[in-house]
Amino acid sequence: MAFTGGVTRSTLRQQIADALRDEVLAGRLRPGRAFTVKEIADQYGVSATPVREALVDLSAQGLLEADQHRGFRVPQYSLADYRSMIEARSLVTEGMFRALRDGHTAFADPDDPCTAAALAAVRRRGEEAKRANAAGDLTVLVGYDLRFWRELSVLFGNPYIAEFLHRLRLRSWVCAVQHLRRRPEPHEIRGRLWAGHTDLIDALSRRDAEAARSIVAEANAHSLSLVEQLAAE
């Protein structure tokens, strides 16, 4: 696959990073898979510099690991890693919901056109995630789940929290996908993943922080239980 047209090095860097991120999240690049800058540059038909920059970017996000003097590899996260990621995610969302309970201005006026439009957009991501879960389409589910949480956290007005939570969810999906892809047929995972996104949006639209907290706690417990079950099998 070659990138063509009048693109800059910066554009190539982002395109390559996006393509490799999709490969990792889809489980097509398996845990422990190692590769060099030259290998990826040859695969995409580009020079080494934007490839190296893209791989460094993905390493900073935890999607790849730098293998000193040997290139890069897909990380092999353990079950203990996944538990720690879930705990870290919980701490972040607990803080967000506590701030909402204590008077944070997020969702203060759901009838405001801008707020209503933002909530509607986030809800659409959740609806698509629910449909993908019902169909057993893991790749689509991961994509919409990540977009849902990123756009939702942005509504709290703190870009640092939004970016941090996004990176946590990226890593946790990389770990979960490594177990979920052991079930290659869609029917084997159909409906097994959490898809209560719209329930969460409803709770936040009401500024019901306790209900939102309960929904996310249930989601985390469900995800952890499923990955533990798959790891045991």
Q: Which domains does the chain have, with CATH numbers?
A: 9-73 (1.10.10.10), 79-232 (1.20.120.530)
Return the minimum-mean-pLDDT range out of 3-12, 53-62, 101-110, 180-189: 3-12
Quick one: pLDDT band at residue 130, thresholds 50, 70, 90? very high
Residue 66, beta-bridge partner list: 72
148-169 pLDDT per residue, tens: 999 999 999 999 999 999 999 9
3-state secondary structure of 62: coil
CA proximity to 175, closest of 105, 109, 116, 226: 226
Cβ contact 14:128 at 8 Å: no
Cβ contact 26:19 at 8 Å: no
53-96 pLDDT per residue, tens: 999 999 988 889 988 777 899 998 899 999 999 999 999 999 99
Q: What's this model's pTM, rounded to 2 decimal places?
A: 0.85
User: 76: burial class by Cβ within 10 Å (0-12, 13-18, 19+)?
Assistant: middle
Which pLDDT score is estimated for 114?
85
